[in-house]
Amino acid sequence: AGMTLYGIPSAYLNSVTIKNNYAERECGGMIAIETTGIVENSMIIQNYGRFSGGFGIDATSTFEFISCEITYNEALLLGGAMGTQGTVSFIDSEISHNVAAAGGAFALSYANVDFLRCEIKNNSAQSDLTFSLLEGNCSVAHGCIYSTDYPGVYPENDHCIFQAEADGVLDVLDFYTEEDDDILMIHNQNYSGFDSPNCVEVKKDDKIYWSAGAIIGFPGFEICLFELFSGGGGIFVYGGTLTLTDSFLYDNKATRAGGTIEIVDGDIDMINCTLIAYDPDSPPINYESGTFTATDLILTGDVEGNKAVISDCNSACGVGMYGSCSTAGILAPNCYVNCECIACEAGKYSNTSGAHGDICEECETGKSSNIGSSSCDIAASDYYLDIDGEFVSCPDDATCKGGLEMPRPNSGYWIDRSRLNTASILNRCHRSTCIGASSGSDTSSCWLQECYGSDDDCSGCDSDELQCRKGSEGPLCGSCSHGYSYSSSAQTCLSCNIASIVESSSLIALFIIVGVMSVGCGVYYFYNKYKDEDLMWINMMRRLIVMLIHKNNNGVLRVLWVNYQIIDSVSWTLEINFPFPFKRFLFSIKFLSFDFVLADCLPGNYLASVFIWSLFPFGCALINEFISQVRQMRINYLINHHHSIEEEEETDTATLQTLQIQITNIKNSHFANVLLIFFILLPPIFRKQFVALNCFDLLDESYLRIDTSVDCNSNGYVLFVIFDVLAIAIYSAVPLYWILLLYQSRSILNPPATDEQLVYYIRDNDRDLDPLRSLFTPYRPSTLYFESFEMFRRVLFIGVLPLVSSHSDRRAALGMLLSLCSLELFRSVQPFRSTSTNILAYVAQYAILLTFGGALLLETSVVSGLSEMAIGGVLFAVNILVLFFVIILISLNYLNEKKKSQQIKEMSATKVEWAITFDQKKFQTTFDSITEHTVPPSSVLCFWYCDVARSKQVLKSGIPARKLEDEFKNIEDVLKQSTATTTSRSTNHQLVRKKTLRKEALRKELGGIVFTLHGPKELDAEDKKYFPTPSVLFACSIPRKWLIPVDPNGSLRVVTAHSLQALRCNYFGEILEPRPWFEGGVL
């Protein structure tokens, strides 16, 4: 060689040129043995050697090349520029245009070589000594032999002879011939069919013979020579380590493989390198064994031209990924440039690395994986991973989103999150307060196992906020938060603030009803006070009140109240949320059960509410009694002080009797009020008391169904049960007390063998029965105690039915059975005195029956495909029809009563008119007899005359008053006379009336009715002045004190309008034509 370095511990070559050296056996330019050195700014060019053209370094040497140029060197076998077994580093150097059979630039054999910022270019590994074709039409190319026309079908009788030009091993890429007839022979061994000579070793100059028979149709073969040392246009690596950093490799070629790098064995690492290869038939890197890693390797200049691929071989298609990878460019099994690695889809996995193609495997049923997973370690959708690590199917009525989430309850269901072992147990809610788990992404973490057991473990994962509607909390979302109250019709907790109360259509409806009745009660006062003004709407209101109350004592409103009260309780009894519009209807009638938001907004739980409601009726009764005592004290005061006014003895006795009657009436009316209070409040109170006994078991605990904040196993609840049972017993005695009261008056209410109509007449006119009238008035004598039975029936529907079963469908079926029994009861007994009321009660039972039936359909879904809205519409229509039926019955009853009254009045008026036909004698005798018996000593017989036409109107409405300014010269004189004749006789109340008369006289023009004391035969000129057409006379018995003389010496007397107004009645139903009274006339 040109230079041999042997045993030099520190060699330094700077600016040296090693050129045109030739070594037939070893290295051409230089060889180093047991030497450590540095070569800097030097050139190694145009050297030739058998093993290494430019430089040879043994395993005991270490060298560093800095800014060197190693070019145009050639080696017959290995390493055109350098062959080494030692430790070598190249920095900022250029290695180019070197040629060798293997490793055109470098041949590394168990060496440790580093390249930093180097250029390795235009080197080639060329070996033409592969195969040659001696005979035939077969072909030889790139170290491979091919049958004629390959890959097409070879011809018949094909014949070829090949010769190996180098040692090596046959690598069969394709082999398919006709078995036993078309033969490839090597070393006297025949190969045909699919039996190929793969891995057969050949030596230089060995012959290979091919012959084919007459049958064609087979493709033939492609066989290459795998040389022991071949390839690696730039670098050939056989063991050791090679590191290339920030280096540039381009246009290196190899005849067979590894246009830039051939790796037989070793550890190769390429960092931030650029590799350019223009030869599409020579992949730039060929890898056989060892390890190959590349970071930010840029490969360009492939067959598509100017294509750049950046690859990180360490992570290319690792576990959890698959690659649509290509080995174009780098033939390394653990590194794939041109590789697009894609993470395995969710639900698939890959537990191997490399370029797999699309081979991510599907997870088993119930299992899934995240994107890019190496195993299926999470649950699939509709499954969850339980606490034992098993993948379990999602429970009914829950949603399982897979992953590591536990089941989420659907709407209407609740999960106890306080314990992990109950995370998959679905509990059906009794209300519409369970909205199901929130599906928002921000709550997904709340359903992981670590968030169970305590809400403090996971921020924002409060169990009530996750599962309950706003205002609800606790187990099954069955308790209302502070500031909220439960509404059975809405099936949810409503806010206690003013806005929610105003929004309550039920409360608004109650306010409207109370308002209408209040206005009606004030009709008469306004009428008397403003009779001259246009107040027709007041008259209309008055008639409505009369129609609904005064003329409707046959039980129609009672039936309506009871029916709607039972229907309103169905939603709570069955724990069902009815669909629209029936739900809205129930919400509007809940005032019948006193189910107000405000009523239960008092502090404390439901037990406190029951306690207050249980005492409420007694509180109302005490207030009623207090008012009664105050009113009685006022009357007693008048009785004790009546002697303060001078009066006649008989009048005094009559006044005392009147006051005693007033006291009795007060007592009776207030006792009736107490009965009414209990009649209205008893069923809703019973319901609240029975509901407070309805507990249920949930996960080894017992809770109150209406309010799950109440622990039924607590000592406080046990004490409450004692109170509640006693309250139920006391209230149950109320209907029994009604029976006792009615039983004591049974001789009048239901006398034996008495005409029924006569009984009605007796009991309707017996004032002693007024306190009990609400208990018996609508009923027949034979069903005297039906009101008490009806109360127990209401309690059975409203209070007892919710307790009979924990299954709502069974309660609905039992409700239907009770409705059928009620149907038969009202059909056979017919308890009401009015036929129309009995019909209404019978029809109302059908409404209850259909309501329970509709609820059963909703609970069991028996009728598939039937819209819930349709069921709600039918129930709404049925119950509204009952209301319409009530309105029609009330209207018909009112019209019938009015018609009967009209007929009675007309008959009475006709008898009076018949007196016109009497002869003079009969008339006089009759008149004298009537006068004798009907005119008391304190009264005076007065006469009023008119013509026949006017008399008909007077008979229908009364004698009209008129203005009388001319009859009195001074109004004060009139007041004086009026005061003298209308002095109060006994009571302070009458003294107040005198003052009122004065004020009214001063405020209004004086008027009244003029009478005469002269009979028909005594009329004088002054009488005829007032009565010019005395065809008809009206004889009236008038108290002497009311009469004011027009002239003290004359016969004319006046009854003032003030007296008439003071005597004005509040009820005009007995007047044949009451219109003048309604319009404010004074008669």
pLDDT in tens, 960-1012: 888 776 655 544 454 555 444 444 444 444 544 444 444 444 444 567 899 99
Question: Is the CB of residue 103 less than 8 Å from the CB of residue 111?
Answer: no
Most confidently predicted of 164-173, 549-558, 611-620: 611-620
Looking at residues 652-677, what average pLDDT do you find? Answer: 78
Looking at residues 113-118, what average pLDDT do you find? Answer: 95
Count CB neighbours of 231 within 10 A: 29
Looking at residues 632-661, what average pLDDT do you find? Answer: 63
Rounded to whole angstroms, how far apart are CA atoms 1068 and 187?
Answer: 142
Q: Which two three-digit tokens encode residue 1035?
A: 């004889």
Rounded to whole angstroms, how far apart are CA atoms 1080 and 671?
Answer: 35
Q: pLDDT tens digits for 6-33?
A: 999 999 999 999 999 988 777 888 899 9
pLDDT higher than 60, residue 939? yes
At 1073, the pLDDT band (50, 70, 90 cuts) reads confident
Parallel, antiparallel or unpaired: strands 159-164 and 131-135: antiparallel
Element (H, E) at 291: strand 291-295
pLDDT higher than 90, residue 297? no
Q: pLDDT tens digits for 60-84?
A: 999 999 999 999 988 877 777 888 8
Rounded to whole angstroms, how far apart are CA atoms 901 and 161?
Answer: 140
pLDDT higher than 70, residue 681? yes
pLDDT, position 760: 80
Q: Which two three-digit tokens encode residue 42?
A: 């030097």
Element (H, E) at 1023: helix 1021-1026
Return the half-sphere exposure (C-beta side, CA atoms, 13 A cut-off) of residue 235: 31
Rounded to whole angstroms, how far apart are CA atoms 330 and 323?
Answer: 15
User: Which one has a higher pLDDT value, 856 or 330?
Assistant: 856
Alpha helices, H only, 861-935:
868-914, 920-934
At 820, the pLDDT band (50, 70, 90 cuts) reads very high
Q: Tokens 């108290």 sit at which residue?
A: 1039
pLDDT higher than 60, residue 695? yes
Question: Is the CB of residue 433 less than 8 Å from the CB of residue 493?
Answer: yes
Q: pLDDT tens digits for 347-358?
A: 888 887 655 555
Looking at residues 642-654, what average pLDDT do you find? Answer: 48
Question: Is the CB of residue 481 less than 8 Å from the CB of residue 493?
Answer: yes
Q: What are residue 463's phi and psi, to 5 degrees?
A: -60, -40
Rounded to whole angstroms, how far apart are CA atoms 269 and 266?
Answer: 10
Count CB neighbours of 1065 within 10 A: 10
Percent of the chain whose predicted confidence (pLDDT) is above 70: 78
Mean pLDDT taken over the chain:
79
Span of 291-305, 409-423, 551-565 with lowest mean pLDDT: 291-305
Looking at residues 455-463, what average pLDDT do you find? Answer: 72
Looking at residues 110-126, what average pLDDT do you find? Answer: 90
| Cα angle: 1060, vertex 1065, 1071; to 5 degrees | 100
Rounded to whole angstroms, how far apart are CA atoms 1081 and 1083?
Answer: 6
pLDDT higher than 50, residue 743? yes
pLDDT, position 463: 84
Looking at residues 185-204, what average pLDDT do you find? Answer: 90
pLDDT higher than 80, residue 303? no
pLDDT higher than 60, residue 1052? yes
pLDDT, position 304: 45
Rounded to whole angstroms, how far apart are CA atoms 555 and 779?
Answer: 8
Q: pLDDT tens digits for 358-389?
A: 578 889 989 999 888 888 989 998 999 888 88
Count CB neighbours of 832 within 10 A: 23
Contacts of 846 by beta carbon, 8 Å cutoff, 6+ apart? 823, 878
Strands, E assignment, 296-353 = 297-300, 309-311, 321-323, 330-331, 341-343, 348-349
Q: pLDDT tens digits for 913-937?
A: 566 677 888 888 888 888 887 888 8
3-class SS at 229? coil
At 592, the pLDDT band (50, 70, 90 cuts) reads confident
DSSP state of 25: S
At 648, the pLDDT band (50, 70, 90 cuts) reads very low
Looking at residues 112-116, what average pLDDT do you find? Answer: 95
User: Which one has a higher pLDDT value, 1 or 651?
Assistant: 1
pLDDT, position 955: 83
Rounded to whole angstroms, how far apart are CA atoms 3 and 27?
Answer: 9
Q: Which two three-digit tokens encode residue 880?
A: 């509204």
User: Which one has a higher pLDDT value, 634 or 787?
Assistant: 787
Span of 126-135, 827-836, 843-852 with lowest mean pLDDT: 126-135
pLDDT, position 633: 87
Rg (CA), the chain: 59
pLDDT, position 753: 57
What is the distance in angstroms between the CA of the first residue and the CA of the last residue of the chain? 157
User: Which one has a higher pLDDT value, 1074 or 311?
Assistant: 1074
Q: Which two three-digit tokens encode residue 727?
A: 């309250």
Looking at residues 586-605, what average pLDDT do you find? Answer: 67
pLDDT, position 50: 74
pLDDT, position 729: 93
pLDDT, position 70: 93
Question: Is the CB of residue 53 less than 8 Å from the CB of residue 80?
Answer: yes
pLDDT, position 306: 44
Count CB neighbours of 1083 within 10 A: 16
| Residue of 358, 363, 366, 338 lying closest to 348 (CA atoms) | 363
Query: Helix 606-640 and helix 715-744: axis angle, to 10°?
Result: 40
pLDDT higher than 50, residue 669? yes
Q: Tokens 């609840």 sit at which residue?
A: 717
pLDDT, position 196: 92
pLDDT, position 229: 52
Parallel, antiparallel or unpaired: strands 144-146 and 285-287: unpaired
Number of H helices, E strands in the chain: 24, 63
pLDDT, position 1042: 86
Q: Which two three-digit tokens encode residue 521?
A: 């009660």
Question: Is the CB of residue 357 less than 8 Å from the CB of residue 322?
Answer: yes
Alpha-carbon distances, residue 370 vs 247, 374, 384, 407 (angstroms): 39, 9, 14, 19
3-class SS at 739? helix
pLDDT, position 450: 83
Count CB neighbours of 199 within 10 A: 10
pLDDT, position 734: 92
> Which neighbouring-strand residues pair with 485?
494
Q: Which two three-digit tokens encode residue 378?
A: 């999470």
pLDDT, position 417: 86
CB-count burial class (<10 Å; 0-12, 13-18, 19+) for 994: middle
Q: Which two three-digit tokens encode residue 417?
A: 């999150």
Looking at residues 49-66, what average pLDDT do you find? Answer: 88
Count CB neighbours of 155 within 10 A: 12
